[in-house]
Structure 1
Amino acid sequence: MGVKVSVVVPVSEPGPDDDAFDACVRSLLEQSMPSDEYEVIFADDRSGDGTRERLDAVAAVRPNVRVLHLEHTGSPARGRNVGLAVAKGEYVYLLGQRDRLERVALEMMYRTAVETDADVLIGRLVSGDNPPARAFSRNRERADVLRDRLLALPTAHKLFRRAFLDTRDIRFSEVEPELSEQAFVVKAYLTAKIIAVLADQVCCHLGPEPDGPVDPSAHAAGIRAVLDVIDAHSGPGEQRDQLYAHWFRTGVLRMLGGRRLLSARPDQRAAMFAELRELTRERFPEELDRHLPVHLGARAVLVRSGELGRLVALSEASRGTSVHAELRDVRWEDGSLILDLAVEIVDGQGAPMTFRADGDRLFWTPPLGDLTLPPQVADVTEAVARARMEIYIRHVDYGLIFFIPVAGEVCRSQEGDRVRVWAVGRARLDVDTAALGRPLRSGEWEVHVRMYGGAHQARTRVAGHRGAQLSCVGVLAGQPRRLVIPCWSDRRELSVCVEPRSFSESILLVSPGASVTHREGHVFVVLPVPYVPPSGGPAAEMVLRQIASRGRVITVPALVEPGVPGRFPGQLVAKVPVRRFPGDGCLGRGLWAPQLRVDGKETDLRFVLEIGSGGRARIQAGGEPGTLAVRRSTLGKLMSHTPGGKYALRLAQALQQRYLPSPPPD
C-alpha cells in the first residue's frame, strides 16, 4: 500500500530546549496511522543549533521520516515547496515546527477526506484560549468559503490532495511568511472542487505565534500577493468584494488600531500607516466599507483622510472595552448544569455601551468626541439586530474548546435618545454531549462568555459576584455515571470538573469557599464537600502547618457531613483549639497552611488560615481583599520552601498587586 499522507514541516533553529518543537516531533512519531502509511518530511533551513543532527538521528531509526538539508533562506516557503515536491503521499498536511497533532489526527483526517472526496480537508484546530472558528460548529462535507466562514482559517494547517496542488500549481510565494500561507490557502479555497471540515475531532494544536516587529513594506507586499490571487481566481462581484473586505479588515485596519498600534514606536506607526494608507488607496475602494463592523469603519475613514494622530487617539479612547457578565444562578436540572446569565458590553470605565436612536435607526457614537462619522458608517441598526452572546468551555490542560447551547434574547432599554443593549440567556451543559455530541473529557473545564453587541465583541471568564451564594454541589451525570462538580477559582471564576481523580481533589477544587467560626476556645474550619458518597467518604484529617515557623504542625480529625444530593453540598468540619499564646496542639498567631490528609496522602488546600491578635481567625483566599504584603525577603524565601507556603506567597503577592497601591517610580 502506498503512502496515504505526507506531513511537511519546515524547521529553522528551534533550539535544543524548545519544548514545543519536541512535542511536535513526538506527536508525529506517535500517530495511530501505521508508520508505513504516512511519512514525515522535515525541511531544515540549515539550522546550526544541533537540530540537523537530532533530526538525522530520528530519521536513522524511523523509515518513514526524511530530513531535507536546505540552504539557509530564513523563510519557511522554500522548505514547504521542496517538501511538497518530494512528497509521496496521496494527501499532504502542512505543519509548523511548534504545532502538534493529536494522536488520531492523520488517520481521522485521511478517512474523512477519502469519504468526502475532498481536495482540501480542514481538521479542527485549537489555538490557546481562543474560541473555535464558526466553521467548526459541525462537520461539513461541502463547505462554502464565505457561507461557512473559512476565511477565518487562513493558515496552511490543512490536508491537501497532492494531485490537486500539482495540477493547480499551488505553491508558496516568497513574501512575508504569514501572508505567503494565506495566498497559498486562498488559491486552494478558490480552485478546490470540494472543501470538507472535520469539526468533531481536534486534529492540531497551534503553537505560539512568533513575536516581533512587522516590516511595513513586506506586509503590504504580502497583502498585494493575496489580492492578486483573488483577482486571478474570482470575477468582479459580491464574492470578490467580500474577499477583499476580509483582507482589508485583517491585513490593514486591525494593524492600525488596538494594542498593536499603541505598543509600536512613533516611527514604526508612521511607517506602517504610510504603507497601508497607500495600499488602501490602491486596492481597497470606499464601497468595501459596507462590509466592515462600525469600529473598523471609523478606522477606514481616518486612514483614507490621512489622520494618524486621530487614529491613535481613537485607539486610546477605545481601550478597556470589555464584557460584563452577571451569573445569576447555577443549578442542576435532569443531570445538566444550568447557568443563567446577563451579559453586556461596557467601556473602559465600566459604563454600558449605548447607541443614539434616530427614528427606527441606531447609530454608534465614537469614543473620540470630535470624530463625526458619515451616517452610512455609523448606522448599526442591522448589526445590533444580530447581537448575541455565546458560552464556551475550555479544558485547562488540553486547551480543547466547545460551545454549549444558549437559549435567550437580546434586550433593549431607552432613556432619551440613548439605547442600551444587553443579552440574557440560559446555558445548558450536558457532559454527555457537550463535545460536539460526544462526552466531555475528564478534567477541569473553564466557562467563558463572549458577546457581540453590535459595535464591539469581547469575552471573559464567567464569574460570580462577591457575596453571592454560589453552589458547588456535585452530581453523578452522564452514562456511564461520572461525578461532575462546578467549582470556583480564587477570583470566583466558574469551572466545571468532570470526574475528579479523588475525594481529596473534589474538596480541593472548592476549597476557596472555606469558612471559619469560633466557639469556646476553638476554631471550626468548614469546607464544602461537593459530593459525599453513600458510604460517607474516607476518614480524613486536617493538617495545619505554621508558615515561617520551624516544625509547628497541628493535626486534627475532620468530620464529613452529607448534604442534600443534587441540591446542597456536604461539609467537612475540623475543630482546632486556639490560644492567644503558642502552645502544643493549639493554633497561635500567624499564617497557617492547611492540607487535607486522606489515606496517608496530603493535598494542599487553596486558602491560608490567618490567626490574628486575640486568637481571631479568618480565611485568606485569593477571591477577597486582603492586607498581606509578603516580599521576597528572608520570610518569603522561607515560605517558598514550606509546605503550603508557595501558595501563601503567591496569594500574598497577588493580593498586594490587586489591592495595594504600587510604590511610586524612582
Structure 2
Amino acid sequence: MVKVSVVVPVHNGGHYLDDCAPSLLGQSLGPDAYEVVYVDDGSTDDSVARLEKLAAAHPHVRIERIANSGWPGRPRNVGIELARGEYVHFVDHDDLLGPQALERMYELAVRNRSDVVLGKVSSTMVRPKSVFKRTVESCTADNFQLMETLTPHKMFRREFLLEHGIRFPEGPWILEDMPFVIAAYLKAERISVLGDYPCYYWLKREDGGNNTQSMFTDRHDFFGNLRHAIRTVKEGTEPGERQNGMLHRLYRAEVLQRVSEGEVLNLEPQERQRRFEAVRAIALEEFPPAVRDGFAAVTKLRATLLEEGRLDSLVALADRIRQVRAHTEVDGVRWQDGELRADVRLSLLRPDGEPLALVEQGGRLLLDPELLKDVPGVDEWEVEDPYAHAYGEFIVKDRDREDWWFPEGELDIRLEPLGEGRSRLVAAGTLRVDPLSLKGGQPLETGPHDVWAFFQLLGIGRQPRVGGPAAVPGEGAACGPALVGSPARIAIPYWTKGGQLAVDMDERLRRLGTELAARAGAAVGPRPGDGRATLALPLLSAGASGRLVLEVRVGKGPSAQTLPAFITAGVECTLSLADRIPLPDGRHPVTLVTATAPKAKTPPFAVAVLRRGRVVRLQEPGAPAPAPSFTDRARGKVRRVLKRH
C-alpha cells in the first residue's frame, strides 16, 4: 500500500532538483510505502532529463509532463489526481525533507485520523512559528495559530481533498496556497501538528528565486488574489469571534504589512501610493470593524490610519517604529536541576534610547508621545489594553542545521512603573535549556546552539539575541561547563563575540581543556590503594551519569606521556588517571585530550607532582609547590653530605 504521495511541481528546477532529490528518496518510510510524483510544468531547461534519470534509478519515482501553466497550482492539482497514496504531501523542488518526515507525519495522521498534518518547518525565509512549539495530536481551525502557516508544504488526506473538492487556483495566481490551505483548515475535522521533529526545510536560494520580490508585478494580481483568500475565510465561517480570529492574521500580516516599515519605506512614491490605495480598499471592504478593534495598540493605530487614508502618517509612523529596538538584560546564567538557566528581561527602547513608555493622563493610558512626535495628525493614541496580544518566548537555534527549538521557560508580561505617571511593558522570565530533551524530547546535536527570544509588546515585535552586546565585554564563558547525558557529553555555555548566549555541544567550537584551565579547582590527592590519582574539576554534572573517557597529556616536549583517563560525573566531577607515570621527579603540566577535539591545543588545567615515578599530587596550575616532607628533607641532607665527600 502506498501511504504517502509526495507531489513536487517543477519548472526549470536545474541543479535544485539534484539537491532536493536525496531528501525525498532517502525517507525512512521505505520506498515500498511512498512515491514521489514530479509534475513538470513545461520546463525549458534540462529539468526533464534530470527527472528521467531519477525515475530510471528509483521505481517509486513518477514523472508527469504538462504544458506550462505559469504557476504551481495546476501541477499540484495534477499531482492530487495522479497520487496513489492515502496522504499527499506537497514539496517544492528547491526545498528539503527531514529523513524521517514522512514516517513521523504519517504515524501522527493515522493515530488521530487526521485530515491535515503540519510538519515542523525549519527556515531561513521566515522566523520560527510558535505553532510548532509542541506536538498537537488533534485540533481544528479554532486554533487560530494555524493561520500563521498558510504555505502548502503539509500532508493532506487525499480522499478528504477529493470529497470536498479542495484544489489550488490555476494559472499565474500568486498566493495560490492561501485559499487552498484555508479551505482545508475549515473543512478538516482533525488537524495535527508535529512539533518535535524538523520535517520541512524551507531555505532561501542563493539566486533569490524563491522569495516574494516579484509578487507585485503586473503579471500577478496580488491584491485580487488576497481578496480571494479573505473571502475563503468569510464564506466558510459565520460572522463572529471565530471568523474574526481567522481574519486577524490576514489583516495584520498581508494588509498592514504593505504599509509597515518592512515594506513601505523602501518603495518609490508612485508604487507606495498604488499599494496603499489597493490595501485600503481591501481593509474597508473586506474586514469587519471588530477585527481592527482586537489589535494591539500600534497595530490598531496603523489600521486606523490606513482606513482614514493617511499615507503620510503611516510612512512617518513606520519610520519611528523602525528605530525602536529591543533591550535585553541577562543575569544569573547557571546550571540548575540539569538545565542551563538565566534570568531574562526584554523591553523596548525609543529611538533616543529611553524606555518606550505608557503615560497615564486623566485615567487613560496613552502611547509614548515621543514615539508619535513626528507623525502628522496623531497628537495622542490611547492604549485601551496594554496586554493585548503581548507575549514572549525563547528560541534556541541549532546553528549547523537551521533547526529551531522552543525551550521551557515562560516570559510573563508586566507593566512596570517608571515614575511620574509613566510605565513600561516588560517581558521577563527564566530561560530553561535542557540539553537532554530540548530537541523534541531528544538530546541536542553536536555543535553550537544560539539562544534568541521573540517578543511582542504593544504590537511591536522584535527577535533579539539573548544577551546583547552589553552582556559581556567579549567572547568568553557564560558559566562553567557541564557533563550531560549517558554516556556523558560535554556542554559548554559561552558568550559569542556579539554577546549572545550560546551552548556548544561536544566541543565543536569551545574546548573543555581551556574552560577547565580558566576555572582550575582544588587539588585532591591520590586515593589510597586504588592506583589512581584524582583531581576535583570545576565541572558540573547536569543530568549526566557514568564516565567521560578521554586522555591526558602529562609533561612537555618529546618526553610527554599520553595516558588514558576518565571524568566521573557526580556531585563533584573528578578526573582520574594512573598514579604511576614514567617521568622525572618534579612538576609536570597536564593537558586534556578529548575524543571530540583530539588535536586541540589547550593550556594546562592541572599540574602533576611526581616523585620516583609516582603521582603524589594533582593540583591546579597556579598552586605553589608543596613543602618537602620530613623524609624528603632527610634524604636531601644525606645526598648533600655524600656529595661533599
- 1:362 is aligned to 365
- 2:336 is aligned to 333
- 1:214 is aligned to 215
Count of residue correspondences: 551
- 2:552 is aligned to 538
Q: 2:416 aligns with which of 384, 390, 412?
A: 412
- 2:628 is aligned to none
Q: CA deviation at 1:358?
A: 3.6
Question: TM-score by structure 2 length?
Answer: 0.76
Q: 2:493 aligns with which of 476, 486, 491?
A: 486
Q: CA deviation at 1:271?
A: 1.6
Q: CA deviation at 1:379?
A: 4.1
SS in 1 for 2:502: strand
- 2:295 is aligned to 292
Tell me, in whole angstroms, the C-alpha distance in 2 between the residues paired with 1:435 and 1:390: 16
Q: 2:478 aligns with which of 471, 490, 513?
A: 471
Tell me, in whole angstroms, the C-alpha distance in 1 between the residues paired with 2:553 and 2:359: 63
Contact 2:342 2:432 in 1 (8 A): yes
- 2:25 is aligned to 29
- 1:242 is aligned to 245
Residue 10 to residue 454, structure 1, CA distance change in 2 (3 Å): same
- 1:120 is aligned to 116
Q: 1:205 aligns with which of 195, 201, 213?
A: 201
Letter of the 1:482 partner, please give it. Answer: R
- 2:165 is aligned to 169
- 2:269 is aligned to 266
Residue 51 to residue 104, structure 1, CA distance change in 2 (3 Å): same
SS in 2 for 1:315: helix
Output one character per residue of 1:85-121: Cα deviation in whole Å (capped at 9) or x when no partner. 1111111001112221111111111111111001111
Residue 129 to residue 14, structure 1, CA distance change in 2 (3 Å): closer
Residue 475 to residue 261, structure 1, CA distance change in 2 (3 Å): same
- 2:529 is aligned to none
Q: 1:81 aligns with which of 66, 77, 83?
A: 77
Contact 1:257 1:315 in 2 (8 A): yes
- 2:345 is aligned to 342
Output one character per residue of 1:409-450: Cα deviation in whole Å (capped at 9) or x when no partner. 425013223212223322222212223433222321111122
Tell me, in whole angstroms, the C-alpha distance in 2 between the residues paired with 1:461 and 1:335: 23
Q: CA deviation at 1:227?
A: 2.2
- 2:617 is aligned to none
Q: CA deviation at 1:152?
A: 0.6
Q: CA deviation at 1:565?
A: 9.6
Q: CA deviation at 1:210?
A: 1.4
Contact 1:129 1:399 in 2 (8 A): no
Q: CA deviation at 1:176?
A: 6.3
- 2:610 is aligned to none
Tell me, in whole angstroms, the C-alpha distance in 1 between the residues paired with 2:55 and 2:10: 15
Work out whether 1:255 is the aligned partner of 2:251.
no
Work out whether 1:11 is the aligned partner of 2:7.
no
Residue 357 to residue 302, structure 1, CA distance change in 2 (3 Å): same
Counterparts of 1:491-506 in structure 2, within 5 Å, are 491-500=498-507, 505-506=511-512
User: How well do the aligned residues superpose, as a CA RMSD in angstroms?
Assistant: 3.9
- With 275-284 and 104-113 compared, the bigger mean Cα shift is at 275-284
Identity of aligned residues (%): 29
Tell me, in whole angstroms, the C-alpha distance in 1 between the residues paired with 2:171 and 2:368: 39
Letter of the 1:406 partner, please give it. Answer: G
Q: CA deviation at 1:364?
A: 2.1
- Gaps of at least 5 residues in structure 1 are 515-527, 544-555, 571-595, 606-666
Q: CA deviation at 1:162?
A: 0.5
Counterparts of 1:374-389 in structure 2, within 5 Å, are 378-384=381-387, 387-389=390-392
Q: CA deviation at 1:251?
A: 1.6
Q: 1:100 aligns with which of 89, 96, 99?
A: 96
Output one character per residue of 1:269-308: Cα deviation in whole Å (capped at 9) or x when no partner. 1221122122223212434211222222222222222222
Tell me, in whole angstroms, the C-alpha distance in 2 between the residues paired with 1:363 and 1:373: 15
Q: CA deviation at 1:226?
A: 0.9
Q: CA deviation at 1:190?
A: 0.5
Residue 441 to residue 309, structure 1, CA distance change in 2 (3 Å): same
Contact 2:295 2:389 in 1 (8 A): no
- Gaps of at least 5 residues in structure 2 are 205-209, 520-536, 542-546, 576-591, 603-645
Contact 1:327 1:339 in 2 (8 A): yes
Letter of the 1:214 partner, please give it. Answer: M
Letter of the 2:453 partner, please give it. Answer: V
- 2:147 is aligned to 151
Letter of the 1:104 partner, please give it. Answer: Q
Output one character per residue of 1:189-222: Cα deviation in whole Å (capped at 9) or x when no partner. 1111111122222211112241424327711111
Q: CA deviation at 1:240?
A: 1.8
- 2:404 is aligned to 401
Counterparts of 1:441-590 in structure 2, within 5 Å, are 441-463=445-467, 465-467=471-473, 470-500=477-507, 505-506=511-512, 538-539=552-553
Contact 1:362 1:381 in 2 (8 A): yes
Contact 1:474 1:531 in 2 (8 A): yes
Counterparts of 1:294-333 in structure 2, within 5 Å, are 294-333=297-336
Tell me, in whole angstroms, the C-alpha distance in 1 between the residues paired with 2:417 and 2:459: 17
Tell me, in whole angstroms, the C-alpha distance in 1 between the residues paired with 2:275 and 2:121: 30
Q: CA deviation at 1:357?
A: 1.8
Tell me, in whole angstroms, the C-alpha distance in 2 between the residues paired with 1:29 and 1:139: 25
Output one character per residue of 1:511-555: Cα deviation in whole Å (capped at 9) or x when no partner. 9x99xxxxxxxxxxxxx9989999995339999xxxxxxxxxxxx
Q: 1:439 aligns with which of 437, 443, 464?
A: 443
- 2:282 is aligned to 279
Output one character per residue of 1:593-622: Cα deviation in whole Å (capped at 9) or x when no partner. xxx9999976699xxxxxxxxxxxxxxxxx
Tell me, in whole angstroms, the C-alpha distance in 1 between the residues paired with 2:388 and 2:308: 30
Residue 461 to residue 194, structure 1, CA distance change in 2 (3 Å): same
- 1:40 is aligned to 36
Q: CA deviation at 1:485?
A: 0.8
Letter of the 1:266 partner, please give it. Answer: P
SS in 2 for 1:124: strand
SS in 1 for 2:221: helix
Tell me, in whole angstroms, the C-alpha distance in 1 between the residues paired with 2:8 and 2:491: 40
Tell me, in whole angstroms, the C-alpha distance in 1 between the residues paired with 2:555 and 2:376: 67
Contact 2:3 2:34 in 1 (8 A): yes
Tell me, in whole angstroms, the C-alpha distance in 2 between the residues paired with 1:315 and 1:174: 35
Contact 1:6 1:39 in 2 (8 A): yes
Tell me, in whole angstroms, the C-alpha distance in 2 between the residues paired with 1:499 and 1:403: 21
Tell me, in whole angstroms, the C-alpha distance in 1 between the residues paired with 2:439 and 2:7: 29
Contact 2:313 2:377 in 1 (8 A): no
Tell me, in whole angstroms, the C-alpha distance in 2 between the residues paired with 1:440 and 1:109: 21
Tell me, in whole angstroms, the C-alpha distance in 2 between the residues paired with 1:432 and 1:371: 50
Residue 84 to residue 534, structure 1, CA distance change in 2 (3 Å): closer
Q: CA deviation at 1:151?
A: 0.3
Tell me, in whole angstroms, the C-alpha distance in 2 between the residues paired with 1:425 and 1:450: 13
Work out whether 1:426 is the aligned partner of 2:430.
yes
SS in 1 for 2:385: helix
Tell me, in whole angstroms, the C-alpha distance in 1 between the residues paired with 2:77 and 2:555: 63
Tell me, in whole angstroms, the C-alpha distance in 1 between the residues paired with 2:38 and 2:44: 15
SS in 2 for 1:452: strand
